Structure 1
Amino acid sequence: MTRFIPRTIHVTTADVSLFVLLRSRLEILREHGFEVATASAPGPYSRTMISAGFRHFVIPALTRKWRPSADLKAMAQLYQTFRTGRYDIVTTYGPKPGIYGRIAARLAGIPIVAHTNWGLYFSEDSDLYKKLFFLSIEYVAARFGDHVFSVNRDDMEIMVRFGMVDKNDITYIGNGTNLNHFNPKRISELRLSQLRSHFGLESNKVTVGMVGRLVREKGCFEFFKAAKNLTSRLSGLQFLHVGPLDTDKEGAVTEEEFHRMQREDKIKFLGMQENMPEIYALMDVVVLPSHREGFPRSLVEAAAMGKPLVASNVRGCREAVEPGVNGFLVAQKDPEVLAEAIT
């Protein structure tokens, strides 16, 4: 008798999400007998996913920006991919794939359509029209899916309260990381000394770090202002940022803004880094002043490395920070309050 092998495909906007956030989960599915394919916009990690043994589909029209004409093309391209692949399960991640990915999957006749909510696409201080717009879109998209997985409880409560999903059709999954990998005991003082020398960090200063894409909604401008404020007053602090430019995203730091901040020399920009446990080990405090989050991986990883956290008091961050225990929550979009919490 032929053994049934479920065929699954996992869809994100950015290929880096597949590699950084989902790879270990996808490998576990494969180990348990699933056939696992992936799909995303074009990017540098597509080949990495293929090298890792996944069948990867590049969806040319997928973009991080909201562009109706491109989004319709992306939905059509996903429909064709799902239809041709004859998948048993489609799982989408993030706002845009969660909308037109679920619609395309259902129209393609996929038996099981699931969505992992990485955070509703509005902040808590967004105006009413923006909230209603995205809640309405999420309501429509949910009609084309079978189940929703949510990484934070606040979003779950909102979706159930506003009738977007039935309480039986949504499951809380939280977030986590590999504690063997993110283990501070594995990094020696000699290695830390080598890293400080490599990145130009001073060993006698407190290092305040932020990990995230250079986009406005991550709170990077508040971080920059707090760093500028504190370094002008206190000589014992140094700041570093880890993460890429994301010019395809609305509200992204422009290359001009980035180069200006490099010239000001208040923050060391490390860009993308592969060995994140070593990078967190360099930091004394980890900051994430986001405007909205799902369940931020950077805070989970930093906590695993034993680092105190300072984060915005918003959905998602509240899942990772227990005030007075592993860090502090502060008002969003307020660099002065952020600076005070850091000190």
Structure 2
Amino acid sequence: MDKLVRITTVPLSLDKLLEGQMGFMKTRGMDVAMVSSDGPRREAIAAREGCPYYVVSMTRVISPVRDLVSVWRMVRLFRSLRPDIVHTHTPKAGLVGMMAAWWCRVPVRMHTVAGLPLMESTGMRRRLLVLVEKITYGFSSGVYPNSYRLLQYISDQRFCRPGKLKVIASGSSNGIDAHYFSRTPELEARAEEVRKTYGIPGDAFVFVFIGRIVRDKGIQELVAACKPLKAHLLLVGPFEDDLDPVDDACREEIERNPSIHVTGYQQDVRPFLVAADVLAFPSYREGFPNVPLQAGCLGLPSIVSDINGCNEIVEEGINGLVVPAKDTNALRRALERMIDEPGLRDRCAKNARDRITGRYGREVVWDALHREYQEQKRRAHAL
């Protein structure tokens, strides 16, 4: 039985980004363990996936001494577990996990890349982040960008040799559960309660954003673009004050504008999507984002930035609109079009679900990943 270890920096990534995947691999006969720093929902995730969960503390910032301590603790864990495959996600988990797996001579060392913070960095910080990526990729046996545009970027930047790079299926880290993200009468009723809770009239036009409320998610542009519009904005996610927070003016506008509603983190985002008319997702950088997949599955048109992943999910005028990142005026025009052109909005809504389920269904992605595990293990044994 193949022993697989899946690693993320924090439990939230295992919870939301890889939900169900570990349990699926277990049904395929793999012995699966999960690893991350400690945090909320760790026990619930272990129960849901039916797999053991180990804690190795990792920081989300670069800290050489603490990172080396994390590597050593991961080495000790691997010596106990003796995995055949180590598969990491998120930058710090990738650095720590790939170094430790190489040190322990784990034959298959796979790292998934789901967005690169260095894309929005400059100067010394960018050089340091590039170095971290190159080290991570160097210790891996395979690197898996979760979109084709991201693969091209990594290849163009020469972060690793092209032979190591591969996209699983059509992209996405986990695919989409099309059955779960389906409109039902019960979900429609919960969406009505969302509107009532936040004082949104039944006939009001609503945009929704889902994610961390930080600068590089395009929140400042979104808030500025929505300000003159006769529409409500649901911001579904937490403020993050330590890493890349929005500026004071944006925070003040969010807090004082009666048409902007902050819900905080939500375990189930479906009622908030159904409560809205259009998803607005103007992020600066992504790997392959889950939110446009979820919105599309629920029949919601999307306005997204012309960046990796987003521009593979959304096609201009077919299931949404694509705008340049960081362009408030272009974003405002797209928001206005969705309000003023019901024919465009209805056409995009009608096309949204079929475009997602046919390419990014969860089982499609999981089956492709399982095949890749077996292929990589065969290659490792052939060496």
TM-score (norm 2): 0.79
Residue 224, structure 1, aligned to residue 234, structure 2 = no
1:171 — aligned with what?
166
1:75 — aligned with what?
71
- Report the secondary structure of 2:117's partner residue: coil
1:310 — aligned with what?
303
1:157 — aligned with what?
152
Residue 116, structure 1, aligned to residue 84, structure 2 = no
- Cα drift, residue 104 of structure 1: 1.3
Count of residue pairs brought into register by the alignment: 331
Runs of 4+ aligned residues of structure 1 deviating over 6 Å after TM superposition are 254-257
**Inter-partner Cα distance in structure 2 for 1:87 and 1:80:** 12
**Inter-partner Cα distance in structure 2 for 1:126 and 1:170:** 23
- Cα drift, residue 143 of structure 1: 2.0
**Inter-partner Cα distance in structure 2 for 1:28 and 1:80:** 27
1:195 — aligned with what?
194
Residue 88, structure 1, aligned to residue 88, structure 2 = no
1:18 — aligned with what?
14
- Cα drift, residue 51 of structure 1: 2.5
- Cα drift, residue 338 of structure 1: 1.5
Q: Deviations over 1:187-229 (max 9, x none)?
A: 56544333322332211111001000122221222222223x2
State percent identity of aligned pairs. Answer: 28
1:102 — aligned with what?
98
Q: Deviations over 1:85-127 (max 9, x none)?
A: 211111000222222321111112212111111122322x654
**Inter-partner Cα distance in structure 2 for 1:183 and 1:171:** 30
Flag structure 2 segments of 5+ consecutive residues without an equivalent.
337-383
**Inter-partner Cα distance in structure 2 for 1:190 and 1:45:** 27
**Inter-partner Cα distance in structure 2 for 1:76 and 1:253:** 36
**Inter-partner Cα distance in structure 1 for 2:16 and 2:91:** 18
**Inter-partner Cα distance in structure 2 for 1:186 and 1:20:** 24
* Maintained 8 Å contact 2:118/2:130: no
**Inter-partner Cα distance in structure 1 for 2:199 and 2:116:** 38
- Report the secondary structure of 1:208's partner residue: strand
**Inter-partner Cα distance in structure 2 for 1:193 and 1:145:** 48
One of 141, 146, 154 as aligned partner of 2:141: 146
Flag structure 1 segments of 5+ consecutive residues without an equivalent.
none
Q: Deviations over 1:133-163 (max 9, x none)?
A: 4344323322211112221112212333444
- Cα drift, residue 131 of structure 1: 5.2
- Report the secondary structure of 1:171's partner residue: coil
**Inter-partner Cα distance in structure 2 for 1:210 and 1:8:** 35
More helix by share: 2
One of 217, 226, 235 as aligned partner of 1:241: 235
TM-score (norm 1): 0.88
Q: Deviations over 1:240-269 (max 9, x none)?
A: 111123345x21359997577324434111
- Report the secondary structure of 2:83's partner residue: coil
Residue 137, structure 1, aligned to residue 136, structure 2 = no
1:64 — aligned with what?
60
